[in-house]
Structure 1
């Protein structure tokens, strides 16, 4: 088990989604899953992602349903997402809701971070695998739940993306996925993605309430502060910290980082592989994370950002950034500003 996944969590309110789903089918969730239902409280606790994955696998066997993720996610409601469900509902339009989701995602799904990427006609929500892969059932439940939530918010039951990608292996039959998503669905991809036409962001929400949104966001911000720092514990966090420290020197390498950890490069790579990652993946993730942060600072020139990220030429930084986001750094900055 990837040590990062061992620390990753979802709100316990989200786990109620599965117990509610089983109850609707006449099953006692606690008996079927062999685990007590999480307690309900005003401030729901955190539930380990690896345990969530195990519960989904048990439920899929009990129901004899390999498409459980596709079916379960459709039963999502705001209460399953805790306070974030209501923060999102109070936004003015779908674009604002997705922006809040990106900012507060760790309150809902604390594994691989979500990124919004824009080009001229589309907005892409993407999740990589640098922090590990929790598995198809976890990913499919989350992506289906997200789209279903969007459909519910907009009162558009047939709202469909332009394309859906999953990082996990292709199942035997993809027709049920294509029928429900209403678009092309790909598997074995480099990342999990939802690609929407840009116009979708303008969809208004009937539940919009700016005053309530401000109050709820303050509560969500407080909850976010209480989460453990995602970059300060575990081997992956240590490596990402060292990468970020050494990038500006222009000499960031697996050899340099391994030496700081008193490991051989080969031993470091083996340990990262056991965590479900690699030095190359963490280097890319660190550069992308820092690039987005630096581009939000209008005082930094693109040449300075390239140097801070360890690139010898600005053109190399531009090529990499376009691979990450489909945008040039200039276009990204223009859209953010």
Structure 2
């Protein structure tokens, strides 16, 4: 197997992005330790992709991790931050992985939807005898020690949480030089840890791909797959970023004005004013987004009406039915039958 030379790519990429939900991981980590993350790092400089994905420049992510590492005096901060990952920090990818049947399905989604979270070097999965490896090259540049270590620790922690298997990893390779103390890495990963390698690698036994995940849901996975594929395919298509944010908040069961304002780093009053300036309101935006998504979900016969209600952020199926009848003039069940 040939690898790209690190020497030819010894400068960091300058125009790449990571998902804002992923950057939020560091803010959450600092806040949990009594630090004012916003005062320390500044407000998150969120940009919108053409399809409405919230993203942050890779340079900000790298600098923020370096700032936090210096403040806390922890050169292995990437491992400490990565181990606190939750599905919501991986956004749509996280929820898709959460609903996979086994580890093999989950890794396949990570490979396929990787750039929705991390638009730098692509991931690829390779089988080597009775081992499987997830690999990241350096063809688009080096991301930096803390960026790499946070990402690899997050992937490993996520797979541990989903499978319940604490000893997944046989080997981890990093392209960066070895730190002064490799102890935190060896203790966290459990397997062999190598540095100064040509590529970043996570190696696990091939048989582990059959490990079942804790919360599989084939119906929800099909919907999330479709949404992720649509995002990958519509790179040049514009979208209302607020609708995209609300769709995410619905999946998290918190589609509120306060949550939407926080996602945009705005006060509730400022968000209301901005909506008013475009002749809109939060309630109208919420109803519009829910109606659009409801029709999409109802077209999938594998989804029960209770599943649709949950995806739209309703705690009760009856509330969804009343709202849909108000929007369309008929119940969701009747609307679905007409299809």
Count residues in correspondence: 226
SS of equivalent to 2:83: helix
Counterparts of 1:11-30 in structure 2 under 5 Å?
Answer: 11-30=19-38
1:83 is matched with: 92
User: Is 2:138 the partner of 1:117?
Assistant: no
Q: What stretches of structure 1 of length at least 5 have no aligned partner?
A: 229-337
- Post-superposition Cα deviations, 1:141-171, rounded to whole Å, max 9, x if no partner, equal 0000000000011122x23311111000111
2:189 to 160, 168, 181: 181
Q: Answer yes or no: is the 8 Å Cα contact 2:12–2:144 preserved in 1.
A: no
Q: Answer yes or no: is the 8 Å Cα contact 2:90–2:117 preserved in 1.
A: yes
Cα RMSD (Å): 2.2
- Post-superposition Cα deviations, 1:262-317, rounded to whole Å, max 9, x if no partner, equal xxxxxxxxxxxxxxxxxxxxxxxxxxxxxxxxxxxxxxxxxxxxxxxxxxxxxxxx
User: Is 2:239 the partner of 1:207?
Assistant: no
The alpha-carbon distance between structure 1 residues 227 and 142, as it changes in their structure 2 partners (threshold 3 A), is: farther
1:100 to 105, 109, 124: 109
Q: What stretches of structure 2 of length at least 5 have no aligned partner?
A: 1-8, 237-339
Offset, 1:4:
8.2
Q: Answer yes or no: is the 8 Å Cα contact 2:16–2:119 preserved in 1.
A: yes
Q: For the residues of structure 2 that align with 1:47 and 1:227, how far apart are their CA atoms?
A: 17
Offset, 1:39:
9.7
SS of equivalent to 1:7: coil
The alpha-carbon distance between structure 1 residues 31 and 203, as it changes in their structure 2 partners (threshold 3 A), is: same
Q: For the residues of structure 1 that align with 2:12 and 2:232, how far apart are their CA atoms?
A: 18
Q: For the residues of structure 2 that align with 1:182 and 1:132, how far apart are their CA atoms?
A: 28
Q: For the residues of structure 2 that align with 1:193 and 1:55, how far apart are their CA atoms?
A: 24
Q: Answer yes or no: is the 8 Å Cα contact 2:174–2:197 preserved in 1.
A: yes
Offset, 1:119:
2.1
Counterparts of 1:251-270 in structure 2 under 5 Å?
Answer: none
1:322 is matched with: none
Q: For the residues of structure 1 that align with 2:76 and 2:94, how far apart are their CA atoms?
A: 25
Q: For the residues of structure 2 that align with 1:155 and 1:148, how far apart are their CA atoms?
A: 10
Offset, 1:225:
2.2
Offset, 1:34:
2.8
Offset, 1:224:
1.4
Q: Answer yes or no: is the 8 Å Cα contact 2:45–2:56 preserved in 1.
A: no
2:233 is matched with: 225
SS of equivalent to 2:14: helix
Q: For the residues of structure 1 that align with 2:30 and 2:12, how far apart are their CA atoms?
A: 29
TM-score (norm 1): 0.64
The alpha-carbon distance between structure 1 residues 39 and 119, as it changes in their structure 2 partners (threshold 3 A), is: closer
Q: For the residues of structure 1 that align with 2:53 and 2:81, how far apart are their CA atoms?
A: 21
Offset, 1:53:
0.4
Counterparts of 1:1-337 in structure 2 under 5 Å?
Answer: 5-36=13-44, 44-156=53-165, 158-227=166-235
Q: Answer yes or no: is the 8 Å Cα contact 1:11–1:108 preserved in 2.
A: yes
Q: Answer yes or no: is the 8 Å Cα contact 2:25–2:81 preserved in 1.
A: yes
Offset, 1:2:
8.6
Q: For the residues of structure 2 that align with 1:181 and 1:148, how far apart are their CA atoms?
A: 9
TM-score (norm 2): 0.63
Q: Answer yes or no: is the 8 Å Cα contact 2:47–2:56 preserved in 1.
A: no
1:311 is matched with: none
Q: For the residues of structure 2 that align with 1:226 and 1:17, how far apart are their CA atoms?
A: 27
2:255 is matched with: none
SS of equivalent to 1:220: helix
Offset, 1:35:
3.2
